[in-house]
Amino acid sequence: MSERLADGLDRRQFLTSAAFAGAGIAAWPSLLPAGDRSGVADAGAIRDRTERILAAAARPALRQELLPASPLTIERVELLKNGPHFLVRVRTSDGAEGLSVAHGRILSTVYPHFVSVVAPLFVGMDARRVEENVEAVYRTPSHYKWQGLAFWACVAAVELAMLDLIGKVTSRSLTDYFGDGRVTDQIAVYRASGTRGNAPEEEVDFFRQQIEEIGARAIKYRLGARMHYDEASTRRDRALIPLMRDAFPDVTLYADANSSYDVPTAIEIAHLMEQYDYAFLEEPVAFDHYDETRAVTSRVAIPIAGGEQEFSLRHFLWQIDHEVLDLVQPDIFYFGGMTRSLRVGRGAQAVGMTCTPHISGEGLGFLYAVLLAASMPNAGPYHEYKGVEADLPAEPIGGTFIPENGILRVPTGPGLGFRLDPDFLARAEIVR
Amino acid sequence: MSERLADGLDRRQFLTSAAFAGAGIAAWPSLLPAGDRSGVADAGAIRDRTERILAAAARPALRQELLPASPLTIERVELLKNGPHFLVRVRTSDGAEGLSVAHGRILSTVYPHFVSVVAPLFVGMDARRVEENVEAVYRTPSHYKWQGLAFWACVAAVELAMLDLIGKVTSRSLTDYFGDGRVTDQIAVYRASGTRGNAPEEEVDFFRQQIEEIGARAIKYRLGARMHYDEASTRRDRALIPLMRDAFPDVTLYADANSSYDVPTAIEIAHLMEQYDYAFLEEPVAFDHYDETRAVTSRVAIPIAGGEQEFSLRHFLWQIDHEVLDLVQPDIFYFGGMTRSLRVGRGAQAVGMTCTPHISGEGLGFLYAVLLAASMPNAGPYHEYKGVEADLPAEPIGGTFIPENGILRVPTGPGLGFRLDPDFLARAEIVR
């Protein structure tokens, strides 16, 4: 390394490696390609703000001092299936186990990729080095080409099982490990509607029932027509925005446009939402239209949220850096797991931005989001609650899975903090 | 539409729809989210250059006037497998067929996604509307979340089969259909090496043999260590760059760094390549690091190429617009097919940029690239030649699959211009 340093080629990479060396974690090269800033500062590639965001995201996501002293060598990574549910079990050569509930719908169509490509890559790795393992799998030999839902949801399921394993071996909740440790024991939740095209009054009725059921103090509903809008959807949008405020005067209101609008329409809708004191507008224009999203964000007062479809860590940090979004929402499954999502949160935190992990309603997504949010100082005030999937016999350890007065108590049990019915697990078949 | 127009919300989308209406093609909403420029010009979202690129990419990729008059209603989309090879067959209700050879390695691990998700979406569609079909499948209901290799390689295989079908029904080569029609009957090829870590002299020997075999006047080899670099790889790079020029004084030289470098190293390597008159450097830094790539591109004279891992059309056009790259390389499989790749080429053409379709060495990738390049006025001077995969009994119709003096004659046969051994096809099994 010192020879390369002498070449003046790689000073920044070296420095960061050195900073991480004490923690036993290698530098995170995917965030450190920019090299010595003296060489390129005038090209506009590196600014102080950028440096701050990249450095925050490059910090180890897990508290290294809490990791077990001995290696947790992965001997087996199994994909199990029971009904529509997919489970991932990681076993060490010492017989320790970690278990996660995967994203069933995604695994149901890409399981051969999990079994034949992703799972074998983790065998032989030391599960303590979660972040390096995920990074190595992404890079080696060319899996980075697979970046996207199919790949990251497979990797996330293994990452979650590795995290569960670490927590179980040390009898610690993962909330102790993330970031600088747990910052809260309670997470306030919001409820979301997945419906479009119904009458505004029906949507109000739906939320009345939801609020009664779990006491949520925040709700999110859908605007536009998903990836487009039309006259009918815009009519509904314009009716719904004031109507929801009338119906729920004391509730925090969010809305998700799922990439529906063009810029002028998004701005108009955003201004209407401002009049009625909404707290964020999610994905106003096509998710991969950065300039257009920024055009909206820069012209409205209401915070613009997004990131569900972002698969690249660098792109996420770029969006933070260039103020494309006001609030970032990495999806724990789609984005490849909790540690990668925490890195996005850290990058956001570096510039005072909020992060609300996104969940996609499969597996135990809401639980993973709760655990992560409980350790993020810049987590949003409310997190989406979807509950345990039907027929999945999972229970919390030392916390709650059903909100009371809109609040979940964060599980305190080891690892992911849940217990799966042993019979359910025993009846699951290994997917080959 | 006129009511929305009166609202002043959607003028641009309307105008573009109107322009396409004559051709029977709807506006391409994914490129037209920015809306009326009068509303956002000061936000910097829309510039003349941007408009020009988006408008070029939004033009129909196929010459509409050559399409059959009657619908080609898709009755069945089948995935077939013979050994490692995957084929996609599209059949209409009238019994017409189109056939493509898919990307075998990708399909081998995501075939359930093809069979249960992607294929059914195309059933009932009119194959003549290739571009609208691909767009609809991407958008409906939420497959845009799947954007990436796993999804686009499945879609590309169907798109290629639909194109083949159209060409067979009309007895026309696809080169007649693309863009403004065929612009050349001959494609000059380059040969690439997939090797890293060998001695520079071994690499020279490899190319001597390649050049002797097919007469290629251009070659491409690999630099760096793929997604990182180290002392050994940099030593090899510095030796190889002058050595290859010495060995092949009259050959066009390219090199691919596969995201290996940081910015200063990339600039240093680029300057070394300039000294020895290289024609492009591909992926100098991490592919998803746009600012860093632009920092290199803006500081070196040698053209910087990239785009193999780009899945978003809007991101591709953004990279063209913001001069991240000098030369764009959409991969026909990874990017979702020939028509999407042509859109990238058109966007590049609008600002005088070269497009060289990328191929990934599976299926009949080189053939698809040749057909596309033959219809692209801004295609690069040389295109990668990988040849027909081992054991795939495919022959060209009215052209060549083996270069003579480094030149392939572009097939003239209907559709994709190849004939597959009927026995091979008959022995293929339907994947369920």
| Tokens (6 digits) for A174 | 């993962």
Please state, rounded to an integer, the average pLDDT across all residues of chain B: 90
Q: What's residue A46's pLDDT?
A: 55
Q: Could you tell me which of A298, A351, A297 has the C-alpha nearest to residue A51?
A: A351
pLDDT of residue B22: 31
Asked whether the predicted pLDDT for residue B16 surpasses 70, the reply is no
pLDDT over 50 (residue B2): no
Chain A CB contacts of B318 under 8 Å are 290-291
Q: What are phi and psi of B86, to 5 degrees?
A: -115, 135
CA distance A93 to chain B (A): 28
The pLDDT of residue B1: 28
pLDDT for residue B390 = 84
Chain A residues lying within 8 Å of B309, measured CB to CB = 144-145, 147
Q: Which of A148, A151, A318 sits opposite B290 (nearest CB)?
A: A318
Q: What are the backbone angles phi and psi of residue B354, rounded to the nearest 5°?
A: -85, 145
Alpha-carbon distances, residue A6 vs A1, B230, B231, B284 (angstroms): 9, 14, 12, 22
Distance from CA of A414 to the nearest CA of B (A): 32
Which one of B145, B261, B263 has the shortest CB-CB distance to A334?
B145
Q: What is the pLDDT of residues B390-407, one digit of tens each?
A: 899 999 999 999 999 999
Nearest Cβ partner of A289 from B145, B261, B314? Answer: B314
Asked if residue B15 has pLDDT above 90, the reply is no
Band of residue B23 on the pLDDT scale cut at 50, 70, 90 = very low
Tell me the pLDDT tens digit for each residue of B341-364: 999 999 999 999 999 999 887 889
Give strand pairing partners of A189. Answer: A383
How far apart (Å, rounded) are the C-alpha atoms in residues B90 and B74? 7
Going by C-alpha positions, the residue among B57, B228, B21 that lies closest to residue A144 is B228
**CA distances for A203 relative to A140, A221, A237, A244, A275, angstroms:** 47, 8, 11, 8, 20
Q: Backbone phi, then psi, for B173, in 5-degree steps?
A: -70, 150
Select the residue of A110, A314, A318 nearest B113 (Cβ to Cβ).
Answer: A110
Q: How far is A212 from chain B (nearest CA, A)?
A: 30
Token code pair at residue B361: 């060495």
Contact (CB<8Å) A227/B145:
no
* Residues B412-426, mean pLDDT to the nearest whole number: 98
Q: Mutate which of A145, A331, A333 to disrupt the B interface (most B C-beta within 10 Å)?
A: A145
State yes or no: pLDDT of B39 exceeds 80: no
Lowest mean pLDDT among A29-38, A421-430, B168-177, B420-429: A29-38
Cβ neighbours of A149 in B, within 8 Å: 145-148, 150-151
Give per-10-residue mean pLDDT for chain A (432 aa): 30 33 35 38 61 95 96 98 98 98 97 98 98 95 94 98 98 95 97 93 96 95 96 97 98 98 97 98 97 96 98 97 97 97 98 95 91 97 93 97 97 98 98 96
CB B148 to CB A147 under 8 A? Answer: yes
How many Å apart are CA B92 and CA B71, to the nearest integer? 9
Question: Which residues of chain B are within 8 Å of residue A8 when distances are taken between CB atoms?
Answer: 264
- Integer Cα distance of A329 and A356 in angstroms: 5
Q: What are phi and psi of A282, to 5 degrees?
A: -100, 135
B172 has pLDDT over 80:
yes
At residue A396, the 3 state secondary structure works out as: strand
Cis bond before residue B141 (omega within 30° of 0): yes
Q: Indicate the pairing of strand A327-328 with strand A218-222.
A: unpaired
**What kind and span of H or E run contains A188?**
strand A186-192
Whether B110 and A113 lie within 8 Å, measured CB to CB: yes
Which of B149, B258, B259 is nearest residue A146 as measured by Cβ atoms? Answer: B149
Supply φ then ψ for residue A102, to 5 degrees: -85, 180
Chain B nearest C-alpha distance from A246 (Å): 26
Chain B residues with CB-CB distance to A260 below 8 A:
none
| Of residues B366, B428, B371, B375, the one with CA closest to residue B402 | B366
Q: Please provide the DSSP assignment of A346-392 as one string.
A: HHHHTTT-EE--B--SSTTHHHHHHHHHTT-TTB-S-EE---SPTT-
Yes or no, beta carbons of A34 and B262 under 8 Å apart: yes
Residues of B in contact with A258 (CB under 8 A): 142
From chain A, the residues in CB contact with B33 under 8 A are: 261-263, 285-286, 289, 292
Strand A383-384 and strand A186-192: the pairing is parallel
Q: Which residue has the higher pLDDT, B362 or B129?
A: B129
Residue type present at position A121: L
Structure tokens at A153: 């949801």
Cβ separation of B289 and A148 shorter than 8 Å? no
Say yes or no to pLDDT of B212 above 90: yes
CA distance B53 to A360: 35
Contact residues, chain B, for A148 at CB < 8 Å: 146-151, 311
Report how far residue B427's alpha carbon sits from residue B420's, in angstroms, rounded to the nearest whole number.
12
Q: Could you give the CA distance from residue A199 to residue A137 in angstroms, rounded to a whole number?
A: 47
In chain A, the residue whose alpha carbon lies closest to the alpha carbon of B289 is: A314
Cβ neighbours around B76 below 10 Å, total? 13
**Nearest-Cα residue of chain B relative to residue A40:** B295
pLDDT at B154: 98
Predicted pLDDT of residue A140: 85
